[in-house]
């Protein structure tokens, strides 16, 4: 991103520069697009949402009198007749993290105004997200088939089912919303809306490749949250 | 970087805008210098039809008024509910139509409406939308479309909330804190559709507010005009800004607890539901933690108090400064106090839970943090008084409301110190003392600021001055009436009258409290009715009020220096204003007027001694 160089705006070294920059006029974060700043603050707020969910999960797991089920058994998948713990989850996590990589490349090509590469990479990210959601649907249906419900659970504490479906569902909703936007954005990239500055359908704001980066921020966040959910549900 | 700095050192120093000197002769030639624009002109969508101009409007000012009117509507519903409650408490023989269930429902809805849908929406949605872009010198909020959606989400949330009055079983009657397990169990009024609609409405409110809040934050952080540094912003903006930060971090807890309770209700999960024995039968629920809900709720609930209070602090600082023609005392201290109170408010939530059965050490910790909050708060009160000290005070309606606020806030704050201590709180909790405390500190006090702000900014919004005489009647009835309501409640609390009780039956309280309850109820009817003086005043003013003209209060901040009154879409005409000073240069020695607007460059007021901000 090439910012126009503005006289008198160069950073002074050290804390002094940081302080004068922070408290200066017009903008606090120099050269940061409004939408990008908005996404960061939204993600901060969303972090609190997921933190509340995970803290509630820890408290719920701690206070239930019934034994918590063993995740390596519940989440095992039969491969060639042998139950392999965490197999599906490992693949899901791999797919999601890979999609973060393609997203980062899409941002790079976007700023280079490489319309084709950017579009294909956004589309690849969308496909990765879709695969993830699909595998999650498979995992849910497997658990439901085995009798796990939000209100009961044959393997142990009923809260296991409640928290699992609620938190992975809430995360899955985030991924699905991301996938929808990725498809829309890949269309917009291929159609050249960001090259011509075509105005948005609803917002009437001019299109710009920075939107790819903003969506990228969201996508990386969703992946990061997954890492925590993975650790708390599958490894604990 | 450092090498570059060494090379350009002299140019940095020459460009400093802080080279103001009292001595005209020695002032630098570039004393009016303000850094060039970093952000391009905002691309605004101008509505053409009635619908895009007044209904689905993207102008923050119209959205602010929409928020304001919707919030006032819900506030009037809340007011009527409080009348019904007082009718039952003071004159139960007249309230034969009311059952205990009705009473609980009215208590619940009154609390939730007033805290969330009235005060929060009014301060952040109403004043925030109207004032932030004007005060920081922006053309509009940074995402006008999202801002518009934010209002309509709020509108739907209010509609869903109001719908709960008309569903079978009525609205929820579990108290505004919605504590499980009773909130969703049969036997509590409105445990069917009522509680469900409440939870849905709260979730919608949080989603809508998040969209608005992002706008307020980014507009303050990234869209100020040239010369508007953070430490030149009016305290109103600081208050609303910090409150919005709190809201963005606290509302997630409300959203999560709403979602979890909705699942408990609809799907039969047991997040908050312990094993329950009902009429000898074990319910399906089991293994959940009701205290978890209380923690989540109050992690939202306590910052919520400051979400309401901080904008009030900021607004009242500005009003006091303008109407006593004096700069605010200790501006930086005021800013840091706002920020400090905001940060501390996240570490005090469990002082609402001293009797919940949590670990006693928690109480010790939270009592300490709670009492620490008294420090920055007291600083603010001293600064308001020192601002008034030797000021050229104008005893108009706005100033009366401000003085009323200071007194009321100190009152409520002192009872807060009682309740913050565990040992004092335990006998007082769930009595009328608590009611008196929080109505004083977060009901009446912010309401006084709202009234003051309405009298102050109405000339800007409508271009006409509100009637002073009616305003003074409005103030004195409200002020004296509010004290007649809440002072006796402190006493009721001390003799142990429990709150939320439909009636006292033949307990010993009944005899000693009857007369007092009747008195409080009468005062409540009068105070409630007095609020309609304001509505009459507004309607009358819109028709025959005195035109305000430009800057009727002789204020410094940017909202009074727009191209037209009331400001049009885009606020400032062709060119955005350039800011050269803070908003508090009142009664500056050596100046021609007793105020120097923020847009006045130093070279025009060369013989003055001004604060270097």
Please give the C-alpha separations between residue B30 and each of B23, B575, B590, B600, B607, in angstroms, as whole numbers.
15, 21, 21, 15, 17
pLDDT of residue B605: 85
**Paired tokens of A112:** 């280079």
Check CB contact under 8 Å for B230 and A23.
yes
- C-alpha span between A212 and A106 (Å, rounded): 8
Check CB contact under 8 Å for A166 and B287.
no
- C-alpha span between B133 and A24 (Å, rounded): 18
Check CB contact under 8 Å for A59 and B210.
no
Would residue B277 be called left, alpha or beta, if left means φ above 0 and alpha means ψ between -120 and 50 degrees? beta
Other beta carbons less than 10 A from residue B466's beta carbon:
24
**CA torsion through residues B165, B170, B176, B177, sign:** negative
| CA distance, residue B319 to nearest chain A CA (Å) | 24
Sequence-distant (≥ 6) Cβ neighbours of residue B127 within 8 angstroms: B64, B68, B236, B240, B311, B315, B453
A27 touches chain B (CB under 8 A): yes
Determine the residue of chain A that is closest to B6 in CA distance.
A12
> Cβ contacts (< 8 Å) between B206 and chain A: which residues?
none
Determine the residue of chain A that is closest to B147 in CA distance.
A203
| CA distance, residue B9 to nearest chain A CA (Å) | 9
- What is the band of A205 on the pLDDT scale with cuts at 50, 70, 90? confident
**Is a pLDDT exceeding 50 seen at residue B195?**
yes
Q: What is the mean pLDDT of residues B94-105?
A: 92
Check CB contact under 8 Å for A45 and B251.
yes
Placement of tokens 């095992």 in the chain: A76
Other beta carbons less than 10 A from residue B307's beta carbon:
29
Length of chain A: 236
> Cβ contacts (< 8 Å) between B362 and chain A: which residues?
none
- C-alpha span between B77 and B85 (Å, rounded): 13
- C-alpha span between B582 and A34 (Å, rounded): 25
* B 168-207 near A (Cβ less than 8 A): none
**Is a pLDDT exceeding 90 seen at residue B508?**
no
- C-alpha span between B208 and B251 (Å, rounded): 11
**Is a pLDDT exceeding 70 seen at residue B10?**
no
Sequence-distant (≥ 6) Cβ neighbours of residue A43 within 8 angstroms: A217, A218, A221
* A 37-76 near B (Cβ less than 8 A): 37-38, 41-42, 44-46, 48-49, 51-53, 56, 59-60, 63-66
- Residue scoring higher pLDDT (B81 or B287): B81
Other beta carbons less than 10 A from residue A141's beta carbon:
10
Give alpha helix (H) positions in A191-209.
Answer: 193-196
- Residue scoring higher pLDDT (B368 or B22): B368
A116 touches chain B (CB under 8 A): no
Proportion of chain B above pLDDT 90, given as a percent:
74
Mutation target to probe the A interface, by most A beta carbons within 10 A, among B266, B271, B335 is: B271
Check CB contact under 8 Å for A32 and B222.
yes
Closest partner residue to B288 (CB to CB) among A6, A27, A60 is: A60
What does the pLDDT look like over B116-143, one tens digit per residue?
Answer: 999 999 999 999 999 999 999 999 999 9
Sequence-distant (≥ 6) Cβ neighbours of residue A9 within 8 angstroms: A30, B35, B38
Would residue A11 be called left, alpha or beta, if left means φ above 0 and alpha means ψ between -120 and 50 degrees? beta
Closest residue by Cα to residue B120 from B308, B302, B299 = B308
Check CB contact under 8 Å for A52 and B231.
no
| Angle in degrees, CA B255, B257, B263, rounded to 5 | 105
Strand partners, B465: B546
| CA distance, residue B357 to nearest chain A CA (Å) | 14
On average, the pLDDT of chain B sits at 90
| CA distance, residue B133 to nearest chain A CA (Å) | 12
Mutation target to probe the B interface, by most B beta carbons within 10 A, among A22, A47, A52, A69 is: A52
* B 84-123 near A (Cβ less than 8 A): none
Mutation target to probe the A interface, by most A beta carbons within 10 A, among B40, B146, B252, B254 is: B252
Is B359:B283 a contact under the CB 8 Å cutoff? no
pLDDT of residue B604: 87
**Is a pLDDT exceeding 90 seen at residue B25?**
no
- What is the band of B496 on the pLDDT scale with cuts at 50, 70, 90? confident
Please give the C-alpha separations between residue B454 and each of B258, B307, B451, B471, in angstroms, as whole numbers.
33, 19, 5, 10
Q: What is the mean pLDDT of residues B150-159?
A: 97
B3 touches chain A (CB under 8 A): no
ipTM: 0.92
Closest partner residue to A56 (CB to CB) among B210, B256, B579 is: B256
Check CB contact under 8 Å for B271 and A162.
yes
pLDDT of residue A8: 55
> Cβ contacts (< 8 Å) between A60 and chain B: which residues?
271, 288-289, 292
**Is a pLDDT exceeding 50 seen at residue B14?**
no
Closest partner residue to B248 (CB to CB) among A10, A25, A44 is: A44
pLDDT of residue B243: 97
> Cβ contacts (< 8 Å) between B1 and chain A: which residues?
10-11, 13
pLDDT of residue A187: 94
Q: What is the mean pLDDT of residues B410-437?
A: 93
CB burial readout B19-58, b (16+ within 10 A) else e: bbeeeeeebeeebbbbbeebbeebeebebeeeeeeeebbb
Q: What is the mean pLDDT of residues B58-77?
A: 95
**DSSP symbol at A113:** T
* A 70-109 near B (Cβ less than 8 A): none
Strand partners, A79: A82
- C-alpha span between A122 and A215 (Å, rounded): 10
Q: Does domain A34-235 have CATH number 2.30.42.10?
A: no
Strand partners, A82: A79
pLDDT of residue B38: 84
Is B152:B217 a contact under the CB 8 Å cutoff? no
What does the pLDDT look like over B425-443, one tens digit per residue?
Answer: 999 999 999 999 999 999 9
Determine the residue of chain A that is closest to B142 in CA distance.
A34
Determine the residue of chain B that is closest to A37 in CA distance.
B218
Is B24:B606 a contact under the CB 8 Å cutoff? yes
> Cβ contacts (< 8 Å) between B252 and chain A: which residues?
45-46, 48-49, 51-52
What does the pLDDT look like over A19-51, one tens digit per residue?
Answer: 877 888 888 888 899 999 999 999 999 999 999
Determine the residue of chain A that is closest to B582 in CA distance.
A25
| DSSP-assigned letters across all residues of B455-489 | HHHHHHHHSEEPPHHHHHHHHHHHHHHHHHHHHHH
> Cβ contacts (< 8 Å) between A48 and chain B: which residues?
248-249, 252-253
A115 touches chain B (CB under 8 A): no
Instruction: Tell me the count of A-B CB pairs closer than 8 A.
Output: 169
> Cβ contacts (< 8 Å) between A35 and chain B: which residues?
143
Mutation target to probe the B interface, by most B beta carbons within 10 A, among A34, A42, A53 is: A34
| Angle in degrees, CA A21, B306, B233, rounded to 5 | 35
> Cβ contacts (< 8 Å) between A24 and chain B: which residues?
35, 229-230
pLDDT of residue A30: 85
Q: What is the mean pLDDT of residues B9-31?
A: 45
What does the pLDDT look like over B443-463, one tens digit per residue?
Answer: 999 999 999 999 999 999 999
Strand partners, B546: B465
> Cβ contacts (< 8 Å) between B256 and chain A: which residues?
49, 52-53, 56
Give the SS3 label for residue A13. Answer: coil
pLDDT of residue B23: 44
**Is a pLDDT exceeding 80 seen at residue B50?**
yes
Helix axes B290-323, A34-63, angle to 10 degrees: 140
Residue ranges of domains in chain B: 53-233, 395-548, 552-613
Sequence-distant (≥ 6) Cβ neighbours of residue B130 within 8 angstroms: B60, B61, B64, B65, B68, B457, B461
B138 touches chain A (CB under 8 A): no
Closest partner residue to B227 (CB to CB) among A7, A23, A25 is: A25
Q: What is the mean pLDDT of residues B599-611?
A: 83
Check CB contact under 8 Å for A63 and B227.
no
Instruction: Give Dmax (Cα) for chain A.
Output: 69
Torsion from C-alpha of B386, B391, B397, B400, nearest 10 degrees? 30
What does the pLDDT look like over B197-253, one tens digit per residue?
Answer: 999 999 999 999 999 999 999 999 999 999 999 999 999 999 999 999 999 999 999
* B 269-308 near A (Cβ less than 8 A): 269-271, 284, 286-289, 292, 295-296, 299
Give the number of C-alpha atoms closer than 13 A to the C-alpha of residue B610, restricted to the C-beta side. 30
């Amino acid at each position: 991103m090439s910012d126009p160089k503005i006289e008198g705006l160069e950073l002074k070294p050290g804390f002094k520069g940081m302080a004068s920059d922070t408290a200066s006029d017009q903008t606090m974060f120099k050269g940061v697009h409004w939408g990008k700043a908005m996404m960061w603050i939204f993600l901060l707020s969303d972090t609190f949402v997921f933190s509340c969910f995970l803290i509630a999960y820890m408290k719920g797991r701690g206070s239930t009198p019934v034994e918590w089920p063993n995740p390596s058994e519940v989440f095992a998948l039969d491969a060639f007749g042998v139950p392999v713990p965490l197999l599906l989850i490992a693949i899901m996590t791999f797919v999601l993290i890979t999609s973060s990589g393609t997203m980062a490349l899409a941002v790079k090509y976007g700023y280079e105004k490489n319309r084709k590469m950017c579009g294909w990479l956004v589309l690849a990210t969308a496909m990765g997200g879709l695969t993830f959601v699909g595998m999650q649907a498979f995992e849910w249906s497997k658990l439901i088939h085995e009798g796990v419900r939000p209100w009961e659970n044959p393997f142990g504490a009923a809260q296991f089912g409640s928290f699992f479906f609620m938190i992975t569902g809430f995360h899955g909703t985030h991924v699905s919303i991301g996938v929808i936007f990725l498809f829309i954005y890949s269309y917009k990239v291929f159609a050249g809306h960001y090259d011509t500055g075509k105005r948005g359908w609803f917002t009437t704001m001019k299109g710009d490749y920075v939107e790819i980066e903003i969506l990228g921020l969201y996508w990386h966040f969703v992946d990061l949250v997954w890492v925590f959910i993975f650790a708390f549900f599958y490894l604990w | 970087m450092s090498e570059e700095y060494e090379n350009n050192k002299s140019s940095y120093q020459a460009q400093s805008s802080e080279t103001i000197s009292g001595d005209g002769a020695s002032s630098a030639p570039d004393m009016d210098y303000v850094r060039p624009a970093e952000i391009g002109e905002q691309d605004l969508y101008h509505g053409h039809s009635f619908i895009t101009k007044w209904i689905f409007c993207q102008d923050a000012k119209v959205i602010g008024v929409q928020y304001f009117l919707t919030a006032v509507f819900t506030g009037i519903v809340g007011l009527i509910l409080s009348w019904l409650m007082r009718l039952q408490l003071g004159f139960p023989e007249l309230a034969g139509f009311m059952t205990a269930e009705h009473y609980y429902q009215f208590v619940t809805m009154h609390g939730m409406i007033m805290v969330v849908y009235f005060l929060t929406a009014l301060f952040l949605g109403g004043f925030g939308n109207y004032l932030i872009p004007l005060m920081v010198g922006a053309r509009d909020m940074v995402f006008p479309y999202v801002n518009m959606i934010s209002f309509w989400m709020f509108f739907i949330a209010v509609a869903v909330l109001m719908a709960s009055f008309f569903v079978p079983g009525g609205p929820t009657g579990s108290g505004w804190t919605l504590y499980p397990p009773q909130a969703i169990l049969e036997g509590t009024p409105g445990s069917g559709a009522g509680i469900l609609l409440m939870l849905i409405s709260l979730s919608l409110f949080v989603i809508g507010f998040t969209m608005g809040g992002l706008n307020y934050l980014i507009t303050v952080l990234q869209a100020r005009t040239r010369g508007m540094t953070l430490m030149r912003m009016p305290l109103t903006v600081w208050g609303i800004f910090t409150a919005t930060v709190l809201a963005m971090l606290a509302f997630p807890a409300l959203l999560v607890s709403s979602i979890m309770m909705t699942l408990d209700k609809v799907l039969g999960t047991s997040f908050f539901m312990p094993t329950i024995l009902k009429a000898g039968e074990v319910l399906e629920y089991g293994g959940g933690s009701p205290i978890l809900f209380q923690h989540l709720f109050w992690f939202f609930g306590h910052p919520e108090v400051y979400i309401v209070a901080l904008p009030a602090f900021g607004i009242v600082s500005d009003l006091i400064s303008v109407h006593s023609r004096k700069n605010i005392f200790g501006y930086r201290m005021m800013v840091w106090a706002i920020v400090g109170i905001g940060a501390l408010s996240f570490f005090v939530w469990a002082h609402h839970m001293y009797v919940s059965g949590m670990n006693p050490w928690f109480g010790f910790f939270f009592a300490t943090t709670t009492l620490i909050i008294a420090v920055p708060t007291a600083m603010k009160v001293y600064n308001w008084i020192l601002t008034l000290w030797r000021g050229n005070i104008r005893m108009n309606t706005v100033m009366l409301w401000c003085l009323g606020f200071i007194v009321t806030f100190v009152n409520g704050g002192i009872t807060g110190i009682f309740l913050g201590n565990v040992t004092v709180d335990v006998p007082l909790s769930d009595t009328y003392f608590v009611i008196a405390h929080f109505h004083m500190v977060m009901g009446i006090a912010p309401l006084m600021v709202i009234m003051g702000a309405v009298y102050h900014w109405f000339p800007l919004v409508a271009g006409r001055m509100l009637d002073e005489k009616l305003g003074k009647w409005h103030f004195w009835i409200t002020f004296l009436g509010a004290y007649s309501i809440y002072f006796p409640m402190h006493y009721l609390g001390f003799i142990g009258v429990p709150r939320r009780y439909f009636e006292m039956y033949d307990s010993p309280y009944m005899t000693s409290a009857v007369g007092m309850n009747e008195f409080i109820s009468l005062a409540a009817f009068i105070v409630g009715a007095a609020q309609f003086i304001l509505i009459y005043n507004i309607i009358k003013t819109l028709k025959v009020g005195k035109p305000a003209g430009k800057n009727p209060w002789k204020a410094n901040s940017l909202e009074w220096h727009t191209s037209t009154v009331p400001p049009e879409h885009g606020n400032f005409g062709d060119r955005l204003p350039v800011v050269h000073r803070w908003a508090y240069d009142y009664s500056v020695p050596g100046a021609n007027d007793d105020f120097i607007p923020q847009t006045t460059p130093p070279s025009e007021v060369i013989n003055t001694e001004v604060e270097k901000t």
